C-alpha cells in the first residue's frame, strides 16, 4: 500500500472523503456492484410494499405489473447515473457539479442530503418497530424502554458501519448478502401457507390512474430513492469498465430482491386484511406475526441486519454529500453528524407519529419530485457527454464547469414546481405538508379529489421534463466544456 493510500485508511477505516480516487485504488469491476446493491435491497421490508401498492385500490395483477416496471426501470436510472462515478472518480454529488456548477450544485446537494437522511431514518424506524413486535410475540418486554434501547443500538450500528467506509462495507455486504438471502428464502417457504389465492384473485381491479400511482410509488421507493448516491460505489470502478456493464450489474443487483419480495408481499397482504393493516403501522414486525415462535429470533436478527445494510450504505453516502456542500470535516465525522440526526428522527416517528406509513409516503412524494427532476437533468448530462469529467475542474469554480449553471438550476426549480403541482400529500398526521396538487385543477385533471390526484404523475413529469429540457438546452454548453 502506498503512503497516499495509507493516509486514506486508518485502522481499516476509510478516510477518503469527496476527493478524487487514485488510479491505483480503482480496481473494482462492474460485477462488484452486485453485492452492495443486492444486500441493500434484499430486506424483508420489501414485502411490506405489497400493502403499500395494494393500498391504491388495484388488483394483484395490476400491482404486479406496477411492481415489475417500477423496480426495474427505476434501478436502470440508478445504473445510468452510476456511470458518472467511473467517469469522474468522485461521489455522485460531486460529479453532479458538471451539470449544475461547482457552487450551484449545493442546491441539489441539500435535496440529496435530506433525502438520504430520510431513507436512513425510515430503515432505522422499521428495525426498531420490528424489534418491539418480535419481543412482544416472545412474551418479553416490548414497551418504551425496549424501543429506546433498540433505537440507540440500531443508530450506533449504522453509524459504526458508515464510519468504517467503503472497503469494510464491501466486505460486510458480501457476508450479509448470503445470510439475509438464505434466511429470507426460509421465510418465504414458511410463509407460503399464509397465502390464499382465492382471496388474492378476488381483489377487484382499479382505474389505470391508480396503477400509475402505484408505479410511481414503487419507482420512488426503489431506484429513485437511490439515484443520488448511485455513483458513490462506482467511483472505485476501473477506467476500462464498460458503461453498459455498470448499468446492468447495478440494475440486476438492485432489482433482483425487490421484484420477488414485493410480489410475494402482494400475495401475503392480499390474503389477509388484518396483515395488510398491521403492515401500515409496523412494516417489518407485522410480517413476523405469521411465523412460528421458534423462528422469530432468527427472523428478527436477519431483518434488522438487512435494514442496517441499506441504512449503512445511505449514511455513508449522505456523509459524502454533506462534505460536497463545503463542510470541512473528516468523512467519518460527517457520518457521525448524520447519525445523530437519524437517531432524533427515529425517536420522533416511533414515539410521536400516528403511524409509519403516513410520514413515509409523505416523504417519498415530497422529496421524490425534486430528486426525479435532478435525476432527469443528470441522466441527460451523462447522455450528452462523450468524454470523462475533468477531475480537477469538479473542484474549481473557475474551471470549465463554472460556479453556477443557471440553465440547470432554473430547470430544477421550475420542473420541481410543476411536479409538486401534480401530486397530493393528504396523509393522516402530516397535514402540515398538505399544500401540493395546485395544478391538478387548472390542467383539467379533476383537482385534488379527481381520479388523477393519487396518480402522483408529478414525479414522472419532473423526471421527463428535466431530461428533455437539459438535452435540448444544454447540448451546446456540454460541447463547449468538452472542447478544452
The tens digit of pLDDT for each residue in 49-58 reads 888 899 899 9
In the chain, % of residues over pLDDT 70: 88
Q: What's the confidence (pLDDT) of residue 28?
A: 79
pTM for the structure as a whole: 0.83
Q: What's the confidence (pLDDT) of residue 336?
A: 74
* Least confident residue range of 21-25, 201-205, 396-400, 474-478: 21-25
Q: What's the confidence (pLDDT) of residue 46?
A: 83
Residue 17 has pLDDT above 60, yes or no: no
Residue, of 29 and 428, whose pLDDT is higher: 29
Q: What's the confidence (pLDDT) of residue 167?
A: 60
Residue, of 399 and 331, whose pLDDT is higher: 399
Q: What's the confidence (pLDDT) of residue 73?
A: 96
The closest alpha carbon to 212, from 418, 457, 445, belongs to 457
Q: What's the confidence (pLDDT) of residue 10?
A: 46
For the chain, give the secondary structure using H, E and C: CCHHHHHCEECCEECCCCCCCCHHHCCECHHHHHHHHHHHHCCCHHHHHHHHHHCCCCCHHHHHHHHHHHHHHHHHHHHHHHHHHHHHCCCHHHHCHHHHCCCCCHHHHHHHHHHHHHHHHHHHHHHHHHHHHHHHHCCCCCCHHHHHHHHHHHHHHHHHHHHHCHHHHHHHHHHHHHHHHHHHHHHHHHHHHHCCHHHHHCCCCCCHHHHHHHHHHHHHHCHHHCHHHCHHHHCCECCCCCHHHHHHHHHHHHHHHHHHHHHHHHHHHHHCHHHHHHHHHCCCHHHHHHCCHHHHHHHHHHHHHHHHHHHHHHHHHHHHHHHHCCCCCCHHHHHHHHHHHHHHHHHHHHHCCCCCHHHHHHHHHHHHHHHHHHHHHHHHHHHHCCCCCCCHHHHCCCCCCCCCCHHHHHHHHHHHHHHHCCCCCCCCCCHHHCCCCCCCCCCCCCHHHCCCHHHCHHHHHHHHHHHHHHHHHCHHHHHHHCCC
Residue 82 has pLDDT above 80, yes or no: yes
Q: What's the confidence (pLDDT) of residue 200?
A: 93
Characterize 131-159 residue by residue with b for buried, 16 or more Cβ atoms within 10 angstroms of its Cβ, and e for exposed.
bbbbbbbeeeebeeebbeebbeebbebbb
Catalogue all structural domains in the chain, each as residue range(s) with its CATH number: 30-481 (1.10.4160.10)
Measured distance between the N- and C-terminal CA atoms of the chain, rounded to whole angstroms: 34
Residue 355 has pLDDT above 70, yes or no: no
Residue 286 has pLDDT above 70, yes or no: yes
Residue 102 has pLDDT above 50, yes or no: yes
The tens digit of pLDDT for each residue in 237-266 reads 888 888 899 999 999 999 998 999 999 999
Amino acid at each position: 500500500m502506498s503512503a497516499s493510500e495509507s493516509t486514506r485508511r486508518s485502522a481499516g477505516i476509510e478516510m477518503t472523503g469527496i476527493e478524487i480516487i487514485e488510479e491505483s485504488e480503482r480496481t473494482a469491476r462492474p460485477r462488484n456492484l452486485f453485492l452492495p446493491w443486492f444486500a441493500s435491497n434484499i430486506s424483508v421490508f420489501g414485502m411490506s410494499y405489497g400493502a403499500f401498492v395494494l393500498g391504491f385500490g388495484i388488483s394483484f395483477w395490476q400491482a404486479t405489473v406496477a411492481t415489475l416496471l417500477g423496480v426495474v426501470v427505476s434501478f436502470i436510472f440508478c445504473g445510468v447515473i452510476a456511470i458518472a462515478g467511473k467517469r469522474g472518480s468522485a461521489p455522485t454529488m460531486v460529479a453532479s457539479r458538471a451539470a449544475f456548477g461547482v457552487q450551484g450544485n449545493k442546491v441539489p446537494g441539500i435535496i440529496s442530503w435530506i433525502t438520504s437522511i430520510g431513507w436512513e431514518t425510515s430503515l432505522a424506524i422499521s428495525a426498531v418497530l420490528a424489534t418491539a413486535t418480535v419481543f412482544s410475540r416472545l412474551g418479553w418486554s416490548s414497551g418504551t424502554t425496549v424501543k429506546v434501547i433498540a433505537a440507540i443500538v440500531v443508530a450506533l450500528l449504522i453509524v459504526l458501519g458508515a464510519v468504517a467506509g467503503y472497503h469494510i462495507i464491501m466486505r460486510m455486504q458480501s457476508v450479509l448478502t448470503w445470510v439475509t438471502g438464505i434466511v429470507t428464502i426460509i421465510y418465504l417457504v414458511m410463509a407460503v401457507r399464509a397465502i390464499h389465492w382465492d382471496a388474492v384473485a378476488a381483489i377487484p381491479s382499479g382505474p389505470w390512474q391508480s396503477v400509475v400511482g402505484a408505479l410511481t410509488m414503487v419507482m420512488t421507493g426503489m431506484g429513485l430513492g437511490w439515484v443520488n448516491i448511485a455513483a458513490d460505489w462506482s467511483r472505485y470502478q476501473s477506467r476500462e469498465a464498460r458503461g453498459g456493464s455498470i448499468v446492468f450489474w447495478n440494475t440486476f443487483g438492485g432489482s433482483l430482491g425487490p421484484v420477488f419480495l414485493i410480489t410475494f408481499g402482494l400475495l401475503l397482504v392480499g390474503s389477509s386484511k388484518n396483515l395488510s393493516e398491521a403492515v401500515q403501522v409496523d412494516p417489518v414486525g407485522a410480517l413476523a406475526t405469521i411465523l412460528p415462535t421458534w423462528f422469530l429470533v432468527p427472523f428478527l436478527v436477519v431483518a434488522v441486519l438487512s435494514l442496517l445494510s441499506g441504512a449503512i450504505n445511505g449514511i455513508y453516502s449522505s456523509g459524502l454529500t454533506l462534505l460536497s456542500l463545503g463542510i470541512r470535516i473528516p468523512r467519518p465525522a460527517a457520518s457521525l453528524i448524520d447519525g445523530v440526526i437519524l437517531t432524533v428522527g427515529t425517536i420522533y416517528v416511533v414515539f410521536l407519529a400516528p403511524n409509519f406509513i403516513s410520514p413515509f409516503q409523505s416523504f417519498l412524494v415530497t422529496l421524490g419530485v425534486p430528486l426525479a427532476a435532478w435525476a432527469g437533468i443528470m441522466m441527460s448530462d451523462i447522455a450528452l457527454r462523450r468524454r470523462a469529467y475533468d477531475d480537477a475542474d469538479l473542484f474549481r469554480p473557475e474551471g470549465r464547469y463554472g460556479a453556477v449553471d443557471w440553465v440547470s438550476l432554473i430547470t430544477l426549480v421550475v420542473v420541481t414546481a410543476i411536479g409538486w403541482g401534480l401530486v397530493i400529500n393528504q396523509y393522516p398526521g402530516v397535514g402540515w405538508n398538505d399544500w401540493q396538487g395546485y395544478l391538478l385543477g387548472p390542467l383539467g385533471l379533476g383537482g385534488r379529489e379527481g381520479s388523477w390526484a393519487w396518480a402522483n404523475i408529478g414525479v414522472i413529469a419532473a423526471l421527463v421534463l428535466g431530461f428533455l429540457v437539459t438535452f435540448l438546452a444544454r447540448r451546446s454548453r456540454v460541447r463547449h466544456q468538452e472542447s478544452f
